[in-house]
Amino acid sequence: MVVVVPANASVLDLNGLHLYHANRSNCSARVRLLLEEKELDWTSHHIDLGGKENISEEYFGINPKGVVPALVHDGTVITESNDILLYLEEKFPQPGFRAVSSDRQSEIDYWLKMSGDLHIPGIKTFQYYKLNAALLEKTDEELALYRRLQSDPDLLAFHDKHSEGRSFSEADADAASALLDEYFEKQERAIADGGWLVGASYTLADISWSPTVTTLLAGGFDFGRYPNIQEWYARISRRPQFEKAVFEWRNQATYAVTDPTIAGAAKTA
C-alpha cells in the first residue's frame, strides 16, 4: 500500500475522509463508488484535470505522481486507487466487499492488480488516443512545470508522447486495444461463472473495473464481443450508488464531449 509522507503538510491536519479526485477519472470514480457503497461521509477536493490543477507544487505535495485520486484519512495520505479501495475495506469493513471464501480472495487481488497493470499501456493509451490527448494538451509553460515536478519515469514517458506537437498513433491505440481485449476475454469468462468477476458476489473487483468500462465506452471501445460484460455493466450501472459516484460527477465535467452509447449496455454518460 502506498502511504505518502506529504511534502504539502497542510493535509496532515485534515480530519475524516478527504478525497482529491476528478470528475471523469475512472481511478477516482472507483473510489467514489466504494465510498457510496459503504455510505461513508467524505469531503470532496475536486482537481480539474482539464484546467491542469494537478500540475502544481501544491498537488504534487499530496500525490507525488501528480495523478488523482489521493485519499487523506485523518492526516494519512494514501495514493493508488486500488490501494485506496483496500485501505477503505480494512478501515471500514461493513458492508464488506471482500466477502468471499478465502480461496477466492486471491481472485479479487488479481483483478485489482490487472487494473493497475493495464492502466498506462491499455486504458490510458487508448483513451488519450481517442479523446484526452487533445483535451488535455499542455502549454509550453505547463509542460516545463510538469517535467520539473514529475519524477515517475513511466508517467514522464507517457506524457512526452503527446507533447510538443506529438501524439499517440493508431498503432499505439491498436496495441492498447489488443491488450485490453486479451484482458476482457478473461473477464467475459469469469462473469459467466456466477454473474460477477469473483463468483456470485459483488466485490471490490467489480467496483474497481465498472467505472473503467464507463470510461472506455466514452472513448468508443468496442464491447460488442462481450455480452456478459455488457449485461454485468448494465446491472452495476443501474445501482443508485453508481449513478451518484460515476454519472453525476461525469455530468459536471467542464470539458465533456458527447459520449457514445452502445447496444446492450446501460448508460455511458
Ligand X SMILES: N[C@@H](CCC(=O)N[C@@H](CS)C(=O)NCC(=O)O)C(=O)O
Q: Does 66 bind ligand X (CB under 6 A)?
A: yes
Report the nearest approach of ligand X to the CB of residue 16 (Å). Answer: 21
Residue 39 CB neighbours (<10 A): 10
Task: Considering the complex, state which of residue 47 and residue 197 has its C-beta at the smaller distance from ligand X.
Answer: 47
The cell numbers describing 29, all together, are 470514480
Q: Does 212 bind ligand X (CB under 6 A)?
A: no
* Residue 218 CA: distances (Å) to CA of 25, 31, 106, 265: 12, 19, 30, 12
Q: Does 112 bind ligand X (CB under 6 A)?
A: no
Task: Considering the complex, state which of residue 67 and residue 204 has its C-beta at the smaller distance from ligand X.
Answer: 67
The cell numbers describing 169, all together, are 498513433
Task: Considering the complex, state which of residue 255 and residue 264 has its C-beta at the smaller distance from ligand X.
Answer: 255
Q: Does 81 bind ligand X (CB under 6 A)?
A: yes
Nearest to 123 by CA among 64, 81, 61: 81
Q: 50: burial class by Cβ within 10 Å (0-12, 13-18, 19+)? A: middle
Task: Choose, by CB under 6 A, the member of 26, 187, 203, 230 that binds ligand X.
Answer: 26
Task: Choose, by CB under 6 A, the member of 36, 80, 89, 206 that binds ligand X.
Answer: 80
Q: Does 119 bind ligand X (CB under 6 A)?
A: yes
Q: Does 187 bind ligand X (CB under 6 A)?
A: no
Task: Choose, by CB under 6 A, the member of 4, 19, 27, 33 that binds ligand X.
Answer: 27
Of the ranges 9-17, 22-30, 169-177, 237-245, which one interacts with ligand X (CB under 6 A)? 22-30
Q: Which residues bind ligand X (CB under 6 A)?
A: 25-27, 49, 54, 66-69, 80-82, 116, 119
